[in-house]
Structure 1
């Protein structure tokens, strides 16, 4: 259930927006309200919101000041601002802060609902992008983008490793498979991929582990085995060295709803 926080110091406007969104939502979204920027900030320090609908002009802390504070959060909500004043400076600052919509009072209910639907869609897109950024290893991505330029032995190596991530594989094993001198192969691989053989293999194993952590509920010990580590303890050490979090913490950070877990 997505959460929408409405912030406005005018009770009539605040309750009007709430009633409109509750009727539109039919219970599918949790609608919360705050009567000031300070109250909203306190609520957001304890809770997450997917969407913030806030008035601009409020005593003590205006809507844009609130948005500026929220931009430092790990997962800030997307924002719609509401204003009774069509002032260019407000609109310009709202744009700079990444606000997705700027609505003028008196609010047109249909425009409000269209803005909310678009904002929640954008929030979903940003969430998916954030998940993908957590999933993809940038160095592997760079190497993958150059793969069509790799020599046949290096391309064969990447395929060979992908099929054997669950097995103990050494650089000499691969060099022997390719009928190449191990020293020559080591230099060739690093020259073309930008990574040593050992670094590539480790990153590829952690990449596969991240996919399993995100998309399954397999225990950490089984994931460790599936990506070629004989002990879960060593797997956790390697994973943490690359991702700065444990596998369990990573899984929690990218967790979706129960229905999406396979």
Structure 2
């Protein structure tokens, strides 16, 4: 369930937005309100809002000042700014501060709902990206850090490995594909990536396995096949040696900590 926070000092507008979104949401989302920027900032200290709908003009702390404060605290929710003022500077400033959308009062209900739906899609996209980043093996990140400086042969080798993860991949097979001597290719690969060919293939296989574990309900034996292991038993052994837990334990741990990808 996503949380939407409406911030507006005008009770009539605030209640109107809340009623509109309550009717549209039909219980799918949590709709909260705050009567000022001060109240909203205090609420956000101990609560999370996925979507923030705020008026730009409010006493004490206006919408723009609130966005500045939230930016200093960390990443903003997806922000929709509303205002009865059509000045371009307000729209430009809110967008510079990270607002997703700027709409004018009086609010058209269909435009508001459309903006909220698009904001929710953006928020879900953010969550998917965050989740995928958390899954990436630090060793693989280290290897990929200098990828822009890899030679053409190594880049082609990496592309080939990724495209054939579901198959048995040998160093000689890839070297032959690149028309290189296997011994020379072995040295070149280690020199440019910092890891051996076999270690890199294992890292890639396990990375793909982790993605499948948390984004699908595939059984372990099927995931093992998808990432190139002939038996689930051997896949589980390699996974446990590298991740410190079995694939099933890893899946439960990630899902239980809210990092699943919907």
Q: TM-score, normalised by structure 2?
A: 0.68
Cα distance in 2 for partners of 1:6, 1:227 equals: 49
Give the deviation of 1:215 after TM superposition: 2.7
Aligned residue pairs: how many? Answer: 239
Q: 1:53 to 1:186 in 2, by over 3 A?
A: same
The answer (yes or no) to whether the contact 1:208–1:227 under 8 Å persists in 2 is no
**Match of 1:53, SS?**
strand
The answer (yes or no) to whether the contact 2:160–2:174 under 8 Å persists in 1 is no
**Match of 2:86, SS?**
coil
Cα distance in 2 for partners of 1:153, 1:125 equals: 30
Cα distance in 2 for partners of 1:76, 1:21 equals: 21
**Match of 1:38, SS?**
helix
Q: Which residue of 2 aligns with 1:77?
A: 77
**Match of 2:64, SS?**
helix
**Match of 2:124, SS?**
helix
Q: 1:68 to 1:205 in 2, by over 3 A?
A: farther
Q: Which residue of 2 aligns with 1:40?
A: 40
Q: 1:182 to 1:6 in 2, by over 3 A?
A: same
Q: Which residue of 1 aligns with 2:50?
A: 50
1:85-234 to 2 correspondence within 5 Å?
85-135=85-135, 139=143, 149=153, 163=167, 174=171, 184-190=184-190, 195-197=195-197, 200-201=200-201, 203-215=203-215, 227=235, 229=237, 232=240, 234=241
Cα distance in 2 for partners of 1:119, 1:68 equals: 19
Q: 1:143 to 1:250 in 2, by over 3 A?
A: farther
Cα distance in 2 for partners of 1:78, 1:98 equals: 8
Cα distance in 1 for partners of 2:113, 2:98 equals: 19
Q: 1:231 to 1:201 in 2, by over 3 A?
A: closer
Note the alpha carbon deviations across 1:195-226, whole angstroms, 9 max, x for none: 5436524532441342144235789xx99966
Root mean square deviation of aligned Cα = 4.3
Cα distance in 2 for partners of 1:16, 1:194 equals: 59
Is the counterpart of residue 235 in structure 1 residue 227 in structure 2?
no
Q: Which structure 2 residue ranges, 5 or more long, are not aligned? A: 225-231
Q: Which structure 1 residue ranges, 5 or more long, are not aligned? A: 166-172, 239-245, 258-262
**Match of 1:19, SS?**
helix
Cα distance in 2 for partners of 1:55, 1:150 equals: 53
**Match of 1:255, SS?**
coil
